[in-house]
Structure 1
Amino acid sequence: MNEQNPADDSAVQPAADDKAAREERPDRPTARGSVIGIAALLLALLAAAGTGYLWIQQQAQHQKLQQLDELQTRIDSSSTEMGDTRQELARLREQEDRLNAKITELTDTLASQRRQLDELPMRITRLEGVLEKMPGVNEKARRAWLLSEAEYYLRIANAQLGLARNADVALRALELADEQLRDVGDPGLTQVRRALADEMTALRALPHPDTEGIALRLASLGRRLDNLPLASLSPASYGTGTGNDSQASGLARAWKAIKEAFLSLIRVKRSDEAITPLLTEAEESLLLRSMETELELARLALVRGESLLYQDALKGVVLNLQRHFDLEAESVQSTLKQLRELSQVELPGSMPDISRSLQLLLNLTQGDGDSR
């Protein structure tokens, strides 16, 4: 009676299995839904990334088009400026030719006058010898001759100092005049010789630079300008890649491309140095011709003794060298050093008045003529 029926056991077993199956079914749809959700999220992220990447590419393309338009505008503006630059360059060349011709003329004139002045003592000595040998020539005639020589030298000195600002020639002429007055041996000329001594002292106190040597150095520097290297604006270093792009996954490469696209929109470069724009070929030629003209102006100012113009011209050349040329180049450094040395040359400023001795001599000679 207590024994169980096998048929009842078989009936109970399927019922337990159905209950276990019902308990397991709800878990399977839940896991499948999670996988689908993750896949959908990844697809949405990829779609958003792709959309963002395409948008960035479009913005970059639009920016490039704007840059092309700006570049075209700059090219048109540069063409106009180049035409103006060519005209300015032609004007500067004409000005340079005129300055060269004027400097050459002044140099030749000064050289000719110096030769003539050097030859005068020999000519006068020969004339004195001839006069002494001529019969009937007394001491009064010799005195008149020597006074005429002294007056001639004094006039030369005043002309050289007043017109050519040539203190060396003027000083030499005063010395020759004093020698003639000394040979006269007249105590009445002491006042004239005293004025002459003061004037010669004033001329000797002036600076006496080597005008010819300095002019030759300036001309040499002008010929070397074309060989000086201009400044370069190339970056000192460039960024290097990691070199692992080929090993990265597709998703990593896509993310890197998106990030670089974003970063390319804004770039910040920090520099404490002053930036000078690169020069076009026409601007470079204009710069060199302008510097050559400045050096020619310095030569002209040197010959004329215009100290302010001389200093300003050299200062302009130095500033252009510092602004547009490679300061690390040895040739540029050497040129700057020479220009600084030349700028230290002291030129005579205002010239002293040396007309008093001539006026005193004229008063004495006129008085002698009236007495006769």
Structure 2
Amino acid sequence: MTEHTTPTTPQEDATRAADTPKPSSFAPGDTAAGTAKANPPVGGTKAPKSGKKPLGVILAAIAIILSLLLAAALYMYGVRQAKTQNALNQQLQSRIEALQQAQQQQQQQSQAALQQQGRQLGAAQQQAAVQDRQLSELRDKVATISGSDANTWLLAQADFLVKQAGRKLWSDQDIVTAGALLKSADASLADMNDPSLMNVRRAITEDIAALSGVSQVDFDGIILKVNQLSNQVDNLRLADNDSDESPMDSDGGSELSSSVREWRQNLSKSWHNFMNDFITIRRRDTSAEPLLAPNQDIYLRENIRSRLLIAAQAVPRHQNEIYRQSLESVSTWVRAYFDADDANTRAFLSELDDLSQQNITMDVPAQLSSQPLLEKLVQTRVRNLLAQSSASVANAPAAQGE
């Protein structure tokens, strides 16, 4: 600390200068002591003390007090700072502990989740292993059935195609489709590249040649012609049967007389005319069908249409007898009830006669020579293949158990 000096008054400076001799050299702190020694008090009286010493003491005391106060203040500040720091340290420590606990909990939860995921992964791996084993077994079975002997599948395919050709030939009489199916069967056998199948392929070739020689019938064209005839029924004109409507026993004197005297003859003629109009007998050359009333020709036309429809339905079913009987019935009705001299009727009957001459059945082979040969080969080879596959499946569980 720096020491402060109190300024003095001019009178004190003058008195001090008069009383105190001025030495040549002295220390600044020895001023009062030298003065006291040089001028001792006279008559035993003490000289008054100088005012500098109490002032320095006071200043020193003040300095000490200030130093103490400053030290106390610094101490209190340090204590307060230490308390604050301790509180902050404790707070930080509690936070760190809380964070450590939370981290430990998170680690425990993560470990538990990892353990659970590990268990799930293990179960999934086990299930995947089981599925892989099952898949491998299935692949072995498929390889046993298909991969080991693919030619058996081609042979079975050829047998199926030949059987389908027989169904199309005998049920639908579809020569074109049957021939295409036989050609596909021959192509399947050709893919096998097996010389032992030459006899079967030769039989298929013979069946294809036999079908090529069958004369085909235009069934669709026949059906269209029959339907066209059904549409022309309304254009037919009924026959005029009024030419011979006179009674069989009619005489020429049916006219009434104007004379009163001939009332008997007039009454007899009137009676005969009434009876002749009440019961009429007409001659006809044919009696194939019963007569219809003139206003019932619509029923006749509908009957003709129904017969033509039956004939059209018999064509795809290859019912030759039903087809011919229906057309013959239509021809008989048209000739009996419609005008044969009309142009529409003549064209209708001409078309009907042409359709009656059509044969809706074909002379197809009764059997395909290749079908029994293929059936025998399929039974032999497929049975051997199934026996091998069943034996391999039976040996598979025994190998797994070992």
Q: TM-score, normalised by structure 1?
A: 0.49
Q: Which has the higher contact order (CA 8 A, sep 6+)?
A: 1
More helix as a share of residues: 1
